[in-house]
Structure 1
Amino acid sequence: MTIGEKIGELRRLKGVSQEILASELGVSRQAVSKWEQGQSKPSTENLKCLAAYFDIDLEQFLDLNTNIGIVYDSQAILLDLMHNKMNLKIVVTLISLFLMTFIPAVYLKIVEFDRSVTLWIATVSGGIMFVLALFIISLVMRYVYKDCINRGIRPWFFVIISISVVGLVIYLLCRDSISEHSIQNKKGEQA
């Protein structure tokens, strides 16, 4: 994928016209058009501005082997999950409940209050933390599932291994090569 193709794809994904992109960068619409058509290339300064405007890593932007649309969509999925107000409310509520039970449990343990009451409060605190952990794992699994679908990867295996931190790291490190392999297999089947 050429730099011009990436510029065009990112521009369309962001939903802006060539005119708007040109005005944001301080160049002419014709310059953006020439970049997208491969008739000219943006200067180094314009490449930095483009990467910043599209909120994408400059190295990924310049790497001709990276499908920028997939990277951009993956970031959008993650940002959507993180900025979802309901998700945020649930996490904040669970953390607040945990702290409201954990701190008293620790205090009661320090002052050597009735052991059964202290144990009960600590158990409630642990249960809340367990629910919070399950909720965060479900968010991670949702991200991995959507990212797999976006990349054309069969998601079930990677969703399951993403339950653990090690599995999530393996997926994040290998997803580009798996996606590329999956795309090549589909092309081979079509031929």
Structure 2
Amino acid sequence: MTMGDRLKELRQKRSLSQEIVAQSIGITRSAYSHYEINNRQPVYETLIKLAAFFEVTTDFIIDGDTRGNDAQVSADTIEIIRLLNKMDDDKRKESIDKMLEAIRES
């Protein structure tokens, strides 16, 4: 099974259109369509967004690997990514800096 096959299967299991997936992760439907038919591969940032959106690991999308915590991403991680995606570049950087600071302090 290819990456495109896995993306299509994940989308169809949720009864979603390509348009909904694309809008949710901030790309065009056409770009997403190319991923499903294996004409293109997503860049790293888009791959992370896809994994968060579908609540799976990047490894699962890339090669079907389900060893990493059952291919599931935590709900908190998904929420953080969704919130970051809604921010402009400056706010996103500021938020990431604050999270990194909090991690260093713990």
Aligned residue runs from structure 1 range 1-191, under 5 A = 1-64=1-64, 66=65
What is the identity, as a one-letter code, of the residue corresponding to 2:62? L
Name the TM-score, length of structure 1 as normaliser.
0.33
How far the C-alpha of 1:60 sits from its partner, in A, is 2.1
- CA distance in 1 between counterparts of 2:62 and 2:40 reads 15
How far the C-alpha of 1:45 sits from its partner, in A, is 0.5
Larger Rg: 1
Select the structure that is richer in helix.
1
- CA distance in 2 between counterparts of 1:55 and 1:8 reads 14
Gaps of 5+ in 2: 73-106
What is the identity, as a one-letter code, of the residue corresponding to 2:19? E
What is the identity, as a one-letter code, of the residue corresponding to 1:18? Q
What is the identity, as a one-letter code, of the residue corresponding to 2:34? K
How far the C-alpha of 1:61 sits from its partner, in A, is 2.1
What is the identity, as a one-letter code, of the residue corresponding to 2:49? C
CA-based RMSD of the aligned residues comes to 2.0
Q: Which has the higher contact order (CA 8 A, sep 6+)?
A: 2
CA deviation string 1:66-102 (max 9, x = no partner): 48xxx78xx7xxxxxxxxxxxxxxxxxxxxxxxxxxx
What is the identity, as a one-letter code, of the residue corresponding to 1:17? S
Name the TM-score, length of structure 2 as normaliser.
0.58
How far the C-alpha of 1:47 sits from its partner, in A, is 0.5
Gaps of 5+ in 1: 76-191
Report sequence identity in percent: 36
- CA distance in 2 between counterparts of 1:11 and 1:36 reads 10
